[in-house]
Amino acid sequence: MLLTKGTRLHAYEILSLLGSGGMGEVYRAKDTRLDRDVAIKVISEEMVGNEAAILRLEREAKVLAALSHPNILTIHDISTDQSMLYVVTELLVGQSLRERLTHRKLRWQEAVQIAIAISEGLDAAHSKGIIHRDLKPENVFLTHDGLIKILDFGLARVQFQQSESGESWMDTSPALSQPGIVLGTLRSMPPEQLHGKPVDGRADIFSLGCILYEMASGQLPFKGSDVAEITAAVLRDRPADIDGIPAVLQEIIFQCLEKEPSRRFPSAKDLNAALHSLLTADTGSVTPPRRSAKSRSRVRALAVMPIVNASGDADDEYLMDGITETIINSLSQLPKLRVTARSTVFRYKNMQIDPQAIGRALNAGAIMTGRGVKRDDRLDIQAELVNTEDGSQIWGQHFSSNLSDIFALQEEIAKQISESLQKKLTGSEKKLLTKRYTENLDAYQAYLKGRYHWNKRTPEGFEKAIRYFEEAIDQDPIYALAYSGIADSYNLLGWDSYSTADPKQTGPKAIAAATKSLEIDPLLAEAHNSLAWALWAYKHDWNAAEQEYREAIRLNPGYSLAYVWYADLLAGAGRLDEALKQIEKSEKLDPLGPITYSVHGLILYFIREYDAARKECQHALELQPDFHPARTILARISQMQGDFETAIQEYKSILSASMSGSNPKTQASLAHVYAVMGKTQEVNEIINELISAAQQTYMPIHIDIGFTYAALGQKDLAFEWLEKAYEKGAGWLVWIFPDPLADPLRSDPRFEDLMRRIGPSR
């Protein structure tokens, strides 16, 4: 009996059917107690009648539930309700190894990494006396966040099915076992299992050998057109040798596939150790297919994909993200190589990587992918460089080091990538590639955590970032990058779009931190960029800020944020054509960054090209639906085009977003729309509420209230509020000159006086 949406099994509410098979149905469900989505397998009535099978299922479910290993499907619960037996597991999203293998064979390094994860899961299960007995590619799942999961320890019986969204979800397979039927799938059964003999953990090692053979060769180890031929091949034949893999790997595979269990690896732990040794050993005798030197030297653009955190520990996420960002920053300083910005490549985080598709999307000739595992004080990273024209490997390497040697590891990865792309570096460029900003590991880890939170671009994220950056400085008082991070955090905390922090407080702190950073390292592009923003937004020193932006770009031509912020300055100065040129440079480096398209839309809004501006902002929101700076510009565009209802809807959408809180600036902007519409009652209600709230704390409302009174024809009040904005140091003042909302005030001498004091260079 199929369960319908809304059916309750104790605390679990059925959401949808994922699939069905011989053992029953699998559903997506909501765990109402813990507010999480889970998978529920409802065991078929036929299986419920098989008492022996149910007893085994319950026994193994209890053992596996207590196991809690990152490479084994997590079992949350097993229970009965309405005479139905069901098992509750974690819900996985990704694809089975079988699905992966239908598209291509794997590079041997990737195959070994997957086999290592499987062997670790098997070792954990074998230690509890559980043998899988049916290990095959269909029962290995690759999640979107890079984890490897073993399914179906005589329990889950899952295969995978493509959903309408293109994602693979768990779905039940045909029945596991019936009386008289040998457990397992024929092609990967060890000989002793085919003979119906008792099996131990070495049976799973044979099956893992079959999987590893297929991953490395793209072929099945034992072939045949029917049961008799396949059985004979397993019992009698030695699989064909595999070309293009290290000899040591071939020896490991064939030891797994020995007919006699005693000649295989004694345990999954021993196999795991052999695989690890293979990755850390010198395997230079076998070279994967490479592109010609001429082809590699033509690669002008590179995308460094987020290194996958394969440890399964969320606490290590910041580390893998930080290593990725460090490699990006190192390579982006090379003038002969365009490196895609962090904000674009991180759009692909937790996604299945298709090198050729990504190459087309980002206009990149090569991409780097990687998987990292941190175990205690050890760090392992498998990295490879792929040519996006044909998917061939340019370079691949396994790196293993103590965590304390992370600086040398990052430098070596960047160096080998550069060499693999046939980039001839000058002495100064080599120094840039291997430049260390700190030698203190604790300081570096704190800095990475700070950047991790800064990149969330929320007030809470900036506050956490500052704490981590300060922690980094406590560990290393001359850590220039950490001071630059503090400056960037205060820069955006005091900016109207992001926070309600008082710019009179944040501005001096930003300038002090950026200045200190440059005292330590005058050649740090990030610090020049940080100081430029602070001088522009807080001091209105346009000339000095422009010099700092130009210096940042000179020092690091691949620093996309410098182009964005420089475009902000040029736009505020009314140099709109120049601003467009800078933002277009940023788009080449950061083609999926919402901030880039949002600023592009802002510039076009200033130019009064409203339809084109709308397209840019909509693009930004497609990339990040909650990016409210783009929605703010959309609201202004709608207002200027006379579509007041849409403008109101856009502002209310921002206000309803939980991340925005009350958002007083947006409330003041909404009042301006009502003023243009002549709805004075609504205007007065909003303004009175904001003025009352602003008695207690700073609120970035002064400019928008000034525009509101201008729309009502009350110019004296309008300039009174703009003067308050000037006194308070409101950030958006630097954009008043080109803003169409200021048009009712331009003919008044007081506007020119204000512009003179704000000081844009025109």
Alpha-carbon torsion angle 551, 555, 559, 562, nearest 10: -10
> Minimal CA–CA distance to 535: which of 574, 603, 487?
487
For 609-633, b/e burial (b = at least 16 CB within 10 A) is: bbeebbebbebbbebbeebbbbbbb
Cα–Cα–Cα angle for 757, 760, 762, nearest 5°? 125
Whole-number Å distance between alpha carbons of 387 and 370: 15
CA–CA dist 680, 674 (Å, integer): 7
Three-state DSSP string of 39-64: EEEEECHHHHCCHHHHHHHHHHHHHH
Distance CA 222, CA 186 (A): 10
Q: What is the DSSP letter of 510?
A: H
The C-alpha atoms of residue 576 and residue 603 are separated, in whole angstroms, by 7
Residue numbers annotated as active site: 134
Q: Tell me the two tokens of residue 226.
A: 């029917």
In 3-state terms, what secondary structure has residue 174? Answer: coil
> What is the C-alpha separation between 27 and 338, in angstroms, rounded?
46
CA distances in angstroms from 598 to 405, 586, 614, 615, listed in the order given: 40, 12, 9, 10
Q: How far apart are CA 539 and CA 547, in angstroms?
A: 14
Nearest-angstrom CA–CA distance, 489 and 457: 9
Name the residue among 216, 214, 221 with its Cα closest to residue 249.
216
- Rounded Cα–Cα distance for residues 590 and 455 (Å): 15
DSSP string for 363-387: T-SEEEEEEEEEETTEEEEEEEEEE
* Cβ(498)–Cβ(492) below 8 Å: yes
Instruction: Please give the structure tokens belonging to residue 301.
Output: 């653009």
**Cα 248 to Cα 250: distance, rounded to the nearest angstrom:** 5
| DSSP tally for the chain: helices H, then strands E | 32, 17
Asked if residue 275 lies in contact with residue 116, where contact means CB atoms within 8 angstroms, the answer is yes
